Structure 1
Amino acid sequence: MPRLRLGRALAALSGVLIIVTLAALWVGYKPLDLAALRTDETARMVFFRLRLPRVVMAGMIGASLAMVGAALQALFRNPLAEPLTLGVSGGAALGASVAIALGLGAKVAGLPMVFILAFVGAGVAVLIVYHLARTASGAVVLPGALLLAGVVLNLISAAGVVVIQYFTDYTRALQILRWMIGSLDVVGFDLVWRMLIFLVPGWMILLWMARDLHLLAVDEETAASLGVNVQRSERMVYAAASLIVGVTVAVGGTIGFVGLIVPHAVRLLFGEDVRIVVPCSFVLGAAFLMVADAIARTVLGAGELPVGAITALAGGPVFLWLLRRQQRYSAM
């Protein structure tokens, strides 16, 4: 039955994604002119070198952040967990800022240093938050401590980024500021292909771990009694989440609340089964960020808002509502 429900859910969301993709390709400062694509070289260049890669990148980043959010919420058994609230995005941003400020354009094993340091920053953030939120016995993750540790780590990371901007030159400081607020500027598909090399393994790991996460969402003892290697599963999820968030932050900046809003929307639509929530969050997350980016590109006419501002405006109230609901639930 879960497979049948998953198939139906993915079919419905795929239809939504197709419609959103076509709409995102159509809208912009100047709406898409199909006739011009056949006759105007400039129109073709704008579409195939700018608009199409940007829409694809928005889908990839939205899908990635939503999937990571769903996985972290299941792993920590906390509906408020997502890369931004847990400090993972902040850690990745700090690592990427170091790479940009130092002008580390070299590659190690074919990987750009911005990607590597963002991945390291995200991984360190996950480990710090996880260990700070554990009880003394290590048996339970405390939801309040989890969020507090994430908030504090984000503040420390933000302070570190400010210090880096202060001591670096103007051009690099402006580059850090630009992507810190979330930007999806891209020319051509070269960056998209490079992202896929790193994102696809992370996606596959989280999809593969969905069954274990479904059991871990109950509690670790139940999962272990049903054959789940808890420590191995946790490490796999940490590694995949760090890789995905590191890449998305290195490319698009700190785009927050996608991993918070989308999994909750999926649960409202299709239920609490993590085996359904994780893959469906992937599809709906892609559609969500495409919509947010389309709004960012069009709301000011010739100007453009940072897409991170759009997701924050949408996600901030949702976060406060979920926090209030969790407080009421804890008081019962």
Structure 2
Amino acid sequence: MPGASGSAAGAGSTAALLDPSVPLEPVPGGTDGAPVAVPVRRSTARVVLLFAAGCVVLLVSVVVSVRIGSTPVGYGDVLRSVASRLGIEAGGAPVPRLLDSLVWELRVPRVLLAALVGASLAVCGAVLQAVTRNALADPYLLGVSSGASTGAVVVVVLGFGAQTFGVTGGAFLGALLSFGLLMLLLGHGGLDSVRIVLTGVVVAQLFTALTSLVLMASGDADVVRAITQWLLGSMASARWDAVLVCAAVTAAGCALVWGASGALDGLSFGSDTAASLGVEVRRTRGVLLVVTSLMAAVAVAAVGAIGFVGLIVPHGVRFLVGPAHRVLLPFSAVAGAVFLVWTDALARVAFAPREVPVGVFTALLGVPLFLWVLRRRGDL
């Protein structure tokens, strides 16, 4: 009977809507013309195939990027150097010590750190765009980048904690301080999306002003130049300890936010929709803010503030695979890693032997890419 089949279809739709494992997409149909959330199912085989292809592209990008630089390195030398460090017999003549050090101590950690930071920033951007329901949200929305910049500047210019923490430690502590201030200010009025955005802007402006004040107090032009380069983001100081820390934080953070994919789908439609799906809105928002802030803090402390990755990559991936976070988050991680690996390679060779901060190229490439995405989405 038509009525019975319609009821069954409606019941199935409702069950799917309440199942956090089923992604949601907005479609027109609300009583006031606003979008409503409906479940959408995608071909698992197609998604897995696309993700595998993305991982292959990332692996190829890493290998190719390792040999790119002011001193070109052959693929054979890269293979033998990495294999010897891992205790694997690769055959052929041993790699000269200087070349081996160049590959293993400089190029490999640099490329791996670029991949990890790109993945971390892209995932943070995708999460914050859902949590705040703001298409312009990025990992630095919460003021973490500004706080990290202040911490780094205080260590370099004023020398506070230089022996104990160093620039990376100072930047991390500054990021934590800015996030702590953000949560303190938010604690009095709730965690709704508008308050998060506005409070994040206020905190970011405060620490930006403090950074400028400290820089003006410095009379050393070389120090100011070095800090300015760090503020624009650079992989030049990448070392294995930073890679290991960033890898651990990025892996744990990505796993945690991916586990909250269903909640993120609900939050994309607002607090009321998320609550109707059984999401503890305040608690979930708080946890996601803490996780993304820690991920962004570690990334900024390691390489400086690199803009546009967390903004453009999620939008581009969302255009290709849809808004379901169960798919969007892993694809954003891979796309962000590939994007930053190639951007860093370009920064190394574009004006060789002089190196340009990678943040300059992410902005130069990010602006036209973002405009293209907006045009394809019909927003421009």
TM-score range, shorter chain: 0.7 to 0.9
- In the alignment, is the contact (CA less than 8 A) between 1:123 and 1:242 conserved in 2? no
Q: What is the TM-score of this pair, normalised by structure 1?
A: 0.83
Task: Tell me the amino acid that sits aligned with residue 290 of structure 1.
Answer: V
Match of 1:79 in 2: 135
Q: CA deviation at 1:147?
A: 6.5
Q: CA deviation at 1:44?
A: 0.8
Match of 2:323 in 1: 272
What is the alpha-carbon distance in structure 1 between the residues aligned to residue 175 and residue 267 of structure 2?
Answer: 27
Deviates more, 1:270-279 or 1:115-124: 115-124
What is the alpha-carbon distance in structure 2 between the residues aligned to residue 257 and residue 78 of structure 1?
Answer: 15
Q: What is the TM-score of this pair, normalised by structure 2?
A: 0.74
- In the alignment, is the contact (CA less than 8 A) between 1:96 and 1:118 conserved in 2? no
Give the number of the structure with larger relative contact order, counting CA–CA contacts within 8 Å between residues 6 or more apart: 1
Alignment of 1:1-332 (within 5 A): 1=41, 4=44, 6-34=47-75, 38-84=94-140, 87-100=143-156, 101-104=158-161, 105-106=163-164, 112-125=169-182, 141-142=193-194, 153-168=203-218, 170=220, 173-186=224-237, 188-318=239-369
Cα RMSD, aligned residues only: 3.2
Task: Tell me the amino acid that sits aligned with residue 160 of structure 1.
Answer: L
Q: CA deviation at 1:121?
A: 1.9
- In the alignment, is the contact (CA less than 8 A) between 1:88 and 1:125 conserved in 2? no
- In the alignment, is the contact (CA less than 8 A) between 1:216 and 1:223 conserved in 2? yes
Deviates more, 1:4-13 or 1:320-329: 320-329
Match of 2:89 in 1: none
Match of 2:88 in 1: none
Q: CA deviation at 1:78?
A: 1.7
What is the alpha-carbon distance in structure 2 between the residues aligned to residue 72 and residue 285 of structure 1?
Answer: 15
Task: Tell me the amino acid that sits aligned with residue 207 of structure 2.
Answer: S
Deviation readout 1:46-93 (Å, 9 max, x if unpaired): 000100010000001100100000000111112211124554422332
Task: Tell me the amino acid that sits aligned with residue 106 of structure 1.
Answer: T
- In the alignment, is the contact (CA less than 8 A) between 1:2 and 1:276 conserved in 2? no
What is the alpha-carbon distance in structure 2 between the residues aligned to residue 67 and residue 47 of structure 1?
Answer: 29
- In the alignment, is the contact (CA less than 8 A) between 1:28 and 1:297 conserved in 2? yes
Deviation readout 1:237-287 (Å, 9 max, x if unpaired): 110111011111111111001001111111111111122111211111111
What is the alpha-carbon distance in structure 2 between the residues aligned to residue 73 and residue 22 of structure 1?
Answer: 32
- In the alignment, is the contact (CA less than 8 A) between 2:148 and 2:174 conserved in 1? yes
Overall identity of the aligned pairs, in %: 35
Q: CA deviation at 1:221?
A: 0.9
What is the alpha-carbon distance in structure 1 between the residues aligned to residue 120 and residue 303 of structure 2?
Answer: 12
Deviates more, 1:274-283 or 1:117-126: 117-126
Q: CA deviation at 1:140?
A: 5.9
* Between structures 1 and 2, the one with greater helix share: 1
Structure 1 residues 222 and 25: alpha-carbon distance in aligned structure 2, compared to 1, 3 A threshold? same
- In the alignment, is the contact (CA less than 8 A) between 1:122 and 1:246 conserved in 2? no
What is the alpha-carbon distance in structure 1 between the residues aligned to residue 228 and residue 255 of structure 2?
Answer: 32
What is the alpha-carbon distance in structure 2 between the residues aligned to residue 55 and residue 139 of structure 1?
Answer: 37
Count matched residues. 319
What is the alpha-carbon distance in structure 1 between the residues aligned to residue 142 and residue 311 of structure 2?
Answer: 11
Deviates more, 1:178-187 or 1:281-290: 178-187
DSSP-derived class of the 1:39 partner: coil
Which is greater in Rg? 2
- In the alignment, is the contact (CA less than 8 A) between 1:69 and 1:81 conserved in 2? yes
What is the alpha-carbon distance in structure 1 between the residues aligned to residue 375 and residue 357 of structure 2?
Answer: 28
Deviation readout 1:134-189 (Å, 9 max, x if unpaired): 9xxx69645xx877765665444333212112224736544432311101113541
- In the alignment, is the contact (CA less than 8 A) between 1:92 and 1:122 conserved in 2? no
Deviates more, 1:177-186 or 1:81-90: 81-90
DSSP-derived class of the 2:340 partner: helix
